[in-house]
Amino acid sequence: MARAQDTGRGPARLRSRRDLLAEGVLAAGALAATTPLASAERSRTRGLPKRSPAAPRDLVSHGRFGLGVASGLPQLDGAPLWTRVDGIDRRGRIWLEVARSPDFRHVVDRRLVEVRPETDFTVHHLFDSDALGPGEELYYRFATRHESSPAGRFRTSRPPDSREPVRVAFWSCQSYQSGYYTAHRGLAHEKDVDLVCAIGDYIYEKSGDKDGPRTDPLPNAQLLDEYRAKYRLYKSDRNLQAMHAAHPFVAIWDDHEVESSYYNETEGNRQGATPRIPFPKRRENGYRAFFEHLPLIRFRHNRDRIYRRIPLGRHAEIFLTDLHQYSPSASPDCSGTPSAGPILLGPCPNATAPGRSLLGANQRRWLEDGIAGSSATWKLWGTSMMLMALDSANHWTLDIGEWSGWEWERNLLAENLHRRGVKNIASFSGDIHTYFAGTWTTTGRSDGKPVGPEFVAGSISSYTIAENFKQNGVPEAEAALLVERLPENNPHLAYVNSTRHGYALATVTPEELRVDFRSPTSTRDPNARVETLARFSVENGNPVLKVVS
Ligand SMILES: [Fe+2]
């Protein structure tokens, strides 16, 4: 979908992503392997750009850009641009070049940026320029004296009154060893994506999944260098690099960026590992590596804050939340309840105890007031955990590791939003490694008043529930059958798929929110292609989703 530019400046039409790919623009390896990009990769500039000013004495001469490039949340006149230089051991400077054309003939600016050992040689440069206006398509790359990075692309943000359609992808759960990043390659090729939101488990602190197609040699991250090594391993994947090069990116963490099921400074599930440092220090290490290796600019006065609102023109605003840093209450104490694979079987009365909170009071107030006060047509909430209840035939809660373990806060928030008459809210979540779509209500169940649809994307590569059961000796088909019968006891669910991986792609227009579940046919075949699993539509003013196909 090519869009008309509505900035009042520049050409009247932006080229579509398809045009760009055909031109062989985005020189990232995975794309290069499957598109005409191969020639672009071969011919890209090596090292110092031509026509550069004299090289300074501290220009980095060697080193490689082995983790590619990435762009963060676009601004009206720029964007945060990220890379990492491998193979150097001291501070220095590298070139950053931003251009209007993919061949870098029409350069907007070329500037020197610093690389420092304190940030593991990662670079976060907030590029802005008076020469730029809203909605402009731009290309960027970094260079040492002898090496050039692959090129990335970003678009400056839309003006607040933009009426253009908005397209946002949501995904979670990116275990490296469990599968190839075939979904990421598909996502890199999606057209006109305004933003990719990773909503949890960008890394896994423990290399747990067995029998995957790849190996994670880093058993359990606790020290800073171990978390950094995790990001380097994950980001070495060329399909992930291609996704970052193609689209602006933002992320929130779930638990595995530090430790499974931790809350605040309370340790979670060690999964058999012996602690080597106090948990608060471990959390600090996990947070630091997260910010170093993703294209995020930290809040100046609240450096570990990740919750934020992201306006995307007149019709969409995204709210992203943090369910781990501020939660005063750990997982519900359901001691004595049996557990099967990733699903914890209730009953668990503590889940409804008043005061139990994931968000913490301040973030909850910020979220409720933000959504209620937003002037955007559609309010999209990215929450790392699933909101809707999952009940068994005997009314036990099945998933207390999700929002169902914090029913009091979930339902309070839903009641308040309903009472305040907020229209057109949709939530996007993950973590449970299963695709679900349904209606989020004031009780979490079909007996409540509908607040909005919820779209739960399956894991992008981590084992699905069915695959996890298989690891525990339960046949995959049997597990899938168990999960796919859930709507019988949970009529608020309209769709379930427990065997596939992928992401959710939301397209927002004034009249409609459309969501496609996009999934590779396999994460074990590196050449698998992405297809559409299901399509949903939500009409302006009606909180109940429609399954289109
Ligand atoms: Fe996960």
Q: What is the mean pLDDT of residues 274-282?
A: 96
The per-residue pLDDT for 352 is 86
State whether 309 and 185 are in the same domain. yes
Answer for the pair 304, 287: CB distance below 8 angstroms, yes or no: yes
CA distance 250 to 377: 21
The per-residue pLDDT for 47 is 61
State whether 198 and 128 are in the same domain. no
Chain center to CA of 340: 28
Calculate how far, in angstroms, residue 37's C-alpha sits from the geometric centre of ligand 1: 32
Calculate how far, in angstroms, residue 68's C-alpha sits from the geometric centre of ligand 1: 24
Calculate how far, in angstroms, residue 122's C-alpha sits from the geometric centre of ligand 1: 25
User: Structural domain of residue 171, as residue ranges?
Assistant: 166-547
Q: What is the mean pLDDT of residues 496-505?
A: 96
**47 part of a folded domain:** yes
- Is residue 18 pLDDT above 50, yes or no? no
Provide the 10 A C-beta neighbour count for residue 510: 11
Calculate how far, in angstroms, residue 363's C-alpha sits from the geometric centre of ligand 1: 23
Calculate how far, in angstroms, residue 457's C-alpha sits from the geometric centre of ligand 1: 11
Calculate how far, in angstroms, residue 462's C-alpha sits from the geometric centre of ligand 1: 7
The per-residue pLDDT for 334 is 59
Calculate how far, in angstroms, residue 285's C-alpha sits from the geometric centre of ligand 1: 19
Calculate how far, in angstroms, residue 399's C-alpha sits from the geometric centre of ligand 1: 14
Q: What is the mean pLDDT of residues 91-111?
A: 96
Calculate how far, in angstroms, residue 172's C-alpha sits from the geometric centre of ligand 1: 7
Q: How many domains does the chain have?
A: 2
Q: What is the mean pLDDT of residues 350-372?
A: 93
State whether 253 and 108 are in the same domain. no
Helix axis angle, 279-293 relative to 224-235, nearest 10°? 30
The per-residue pLDDT for 25 is 35
Calculate how far, in angstroms, residue 164's C-alpha sits from the geometric centre of ligand 1: 33
CA distance 164 to 370: 22
Calculate how far, in angstroms, residue 179's C-alpha sits from the geometric centre of ligand 1: 13
CA distance 487 to 494: 7
Calculate how far, in angstroms, residue 201's C-alpha sits from the geometric centre of ligand 1: 5
State whether 276 and 399 are in the same domain. yes
Provide the 10 A C-beta neighbour count for residue 362: 10
Calculate how far, in angstroms, residue 449's C-alpha sits from the geometric centre of ligand 1: 29
Calculate how far, in angstroms, residue 482's C-alpha sits from the geometric centre of ligand 1: 20
The set of residues, in sequence order, having a beta carbon less than 8 Å from that of 196 and lying 6+ positions away, is 168, 169, 171, 187, 243, 247, 248, 249, 250
| Residues within 5 Å of ion ligand 1, judged at the Cβ atom | 173, 201
State whether 70 and 148 are in the same domain. yes
Return mean pLDDT, the chain. Answer: 87
**4 part of a folded domain:** no
Percent of the chain at pLDDT > 90 equals: 74
Segment 403-462, tens digit of pLDDT = 988 999 999 999 999 999 999 999 999 999 999 999 999 999 999 999 999 999 999 999
State whether 142 and 77 are in the same domain. yes
State whether 79 and 194 are in the same domain. no
Calculate how far, in angstroms, residue 432's C-alpha sits from the geometric centre of ligand 1: 7
**86 part of a folded domain:** yes
Instruction: Name which of 193, 245, 39, 101 is nearest 506 in CA terms.
Output: 193
Calculate how far, in angstroms, residue 459's C-alpha sits from the geometric centre of ligand 1: 7
**12 part of a folded domain:** no
Given 89, 124, 155, the domain boundary residue is: 155
State whether 130 and 186 are in the same domain. no
- Lowest-pLDDT range, 44-53, 90-99, 421-430, 435-444? 44-53
- Is residue 336 pLDDT above 60, yes or no? no
- Lowest-pLDDT range, 344-348, 442-446, 486-490? 344-348
141: domain CATH number is 2.60.40.380
- Is residue 333 pLDDT above 70, yes or no? no
Q: In which residue are the tokens 């550069």 written?
A: 52
State whether 377 and 432 are in the same domain. yes
Q: What is the DSSP string of 178-209?
A: T---HHHHHHHT-SS--EEEEES-SS-SB---
